[in-house]
Structure 1
Amino acid sequence: MSQLNQFNQPVGDALPDWQPRPHPARVVLDGAWCRLEPLAVHHADALFAAHQLAADTRSWTWLLREPDRCVDDFRQWVASVENLRDPIHFAVIDKSTDKPVGSLSLMRIDASNGVVEVGHVHFSPLLSRTPMSTEAQWLLMCYAFDTLGYRRYEWKCNSLNEPSRNAALRLGFQFEGRFRQVLVIKGHNRDTDWFSILDSEWPALDTAFRHWLAADNFDADGKQRKTLEQWRNNGKN
């Protein structure tokens, strides 16, 4: 509930102990299935090869960049972003092979207000729709909320990107609205949908992630016993 000032105007909840949060660092985040490492040129060749396993280039449709024509082009792109402070790109490493299978980033970093966005998500066929893909997202959320103490974690996507919208909702993000005519991307208009997770929502979401990622939530064939959404509903469904 908003507090009132001396003029009886609502001014929002007081945060008397709030301090700017640390800026995210290029750290390694270790999970059971995967590991996040700061994206670097030494990942480029194997990551390019992983993306080449896709039957077509549809995974590039919603990205800001066009597909790289060759590994040299991809290597140059990685070199151009590997030392940025914003965004900070991470390679997702499959711990069973020790090879990169995708990447994602922390971006639009606002340490003063404790706000950060996950973006530049590009998963190869070796990562998409696997427990690793969920764990990679969870590891980055843990870093933002538990380690850095951020208040707000954002997800934004093209409003026409139904797979991204569905992924955000599956992961527990709340839809906040649509910003119209925000960008011109590849010669087309982009309306952007905004989603978020707040620090007050995180503990319950974290518990659901941990239950879903647990080894006993998967049968011998690797099929989930309960969905992430079911765990968010206390595993009752």
Structure 2
Amino acid sequence: MAHHNSLGQPIGAPLTVTLPRPPIPHAAMTGRWAQVVPTDPAAHGPALFDAFAHDTDGRNWTYLPYGPFDSLTGFMDWLVPTSAGNDPLFNTILDRAGRPLGLASYLRIDPANGVAEVGHIHFSPLIQRSAIATEAMYLMMARVFDALGYRRYEWKCDALNAPSRAAAQRLGFQYEGTFRQATSYKGRNRDTAWFAMIDSDWPHARAAFQNWLAPSNFNAEGQQKSPLRAAARR
């Protein structure tokens, strides 16, 4: 529906939330499969290093601006200062047994406009393509939209990173365009693909996540019966 001002000019729709929104708290989130908790380098670092070492050829580091790390010392030298601030706000992904198996952060947090981004996503091979990874992303989205009332949640990646692009779309983010040579890392140019979910997208995506994560969608071996991709798209 078009909106116009008194001069007949088209203008944006009125805000449906009060701004600013609250800052994102650094607090644990718990689901059926996954826990997402504030990163504690001393408690999580060694286990994360071991989990990431299952990526024996280092392909999971290709599109990250840091790593791979050859030693625990090198990994900790990166993790300790990087996870110490409030933006990015680093979280460790744990399985039901409490094992640290991945990282993800909120970043570019903008309470004044109700916008945040998810990034620094690094799932170890132990949770890639698993319910743990999917539920972790759902929990982070639910905090932004349901708990805090944000208007927009972004996902950005190297435009050549096909797995990340596919993951964004599977999770319900919509592709918005590519910014050519937006940044650089590891001595090379990066075109950045932008994806986002907005508050009006969230109810449908939330229902798709909840249907997918339901116990009835998994067999006795923990394998999904119906994929999230089919449910998440309008």
Kindly tell me: are residues 99 and 150 of structure 1, through their superposed partners in 2, closer, same or farther at Cα, counting changes over 3 Å?
same
Q: Given the alignment of the two structures, is residue 203 of structure 1 paired with residue 203 of structure 2, yes or no? A: yes
Give, in whole Å, the separation in 2 of the partners of 1:217 and 1:115: 32
Structural mapping, 1:123-142, within 5 Å: 123-142=123-142
Distance apart, 1:3 and its partner CA = 2.4
Indicate conservation of the 8 Å contact 1:131/1:213, yes or no.
Answer: yes
Count residues with an aligned counterpart.
233
Q: Given the alignment of the two structures, is residue 26 of structure 1 paired with residue 23 of structure 2, yes or no? A: no
Query: Percent identity over the alignment?
Result: 45
After superposition, what is the alpha-carbon deviation per residue over 1:64-112, rounded to whole angstroms, capped at 9, x for unaligned? 102122111212222102331111010001113x110000000111111
RMSD: 1.5
Give, in whole Å, the separation in 1 of the partners of 2:158 and 2:152: 20
Partner of 1:226: 226
Q: Given the alignment of the two structures, is residue 95 of structure 1 paired with residue 96 of structure 2, yes or no? A: yes
Q: Secondary structure at the match of 1:225?
A: coil
Q: Secondary structure at the match of 2:74?
A: helix
Partner of 1:82: 83
Indicate conservation of the 8 Å contact 1:62/1:161, yes or no.
Answer: yes
Give, in whole Å, the separation in 1 of the partners of 2:17 and 2:90: 31
Distance apart, 1:11 and its partner CA = 2.1
Q: Secondary structure at the match of 2:48?
A: helix
The ranges of structure 1 where at least 4 consecutive aligned residues each deviate by more than 3 angstroms after the TM superposition are none
Give, in whole Å, the separation in 1 of the partners of 2:223 and 2:16: 47
Question: Which amino acid counterpart does residue 155 of structure 1 have in structure 2?
Answer: W
Indicate conservation of the 8 Å contact 2:170/2:232, yes or no.
Answer: no
**TM-score scaled to structure 2, two decimals?**
0.95
Distance apart, 1:14 and its partner CA = 1.9
Partner of 2:163: 163
Distance apart, 1:171 and its partner CA = 0.6
Partner of 1:71: 72
Indicate conservation of the 8 Å contact 1:35/1:93, yes or no.
Answer: yes
After superposition, what is the alpha-carbon deviation per residue over 1:10-68, rounded to whole angstroms, capped at 9, x for unaligned? 22112275221011111100011110111111210011010111221010000010212
**TM-score scaled to structure 1, two decimals?**
0.94
Indicate conservation of the 8 Å contact 1:40/1:78, yes or no.
Answer: no
Q: Return 5+ residue gaps in structure 1 as ranges.
A: none
Partner of 1:180: 180
Kindly tell me: are residues 226 and 7 of structure 1, through their superposed partners in 2, closer, same or farther at Cα, counting changes over 3 Å?
same
Distance apart, 1:139 and its partner CA = 0.4
Give, in whole Å, the separation in 2 of the partners of 1:49 and 1:187: 27
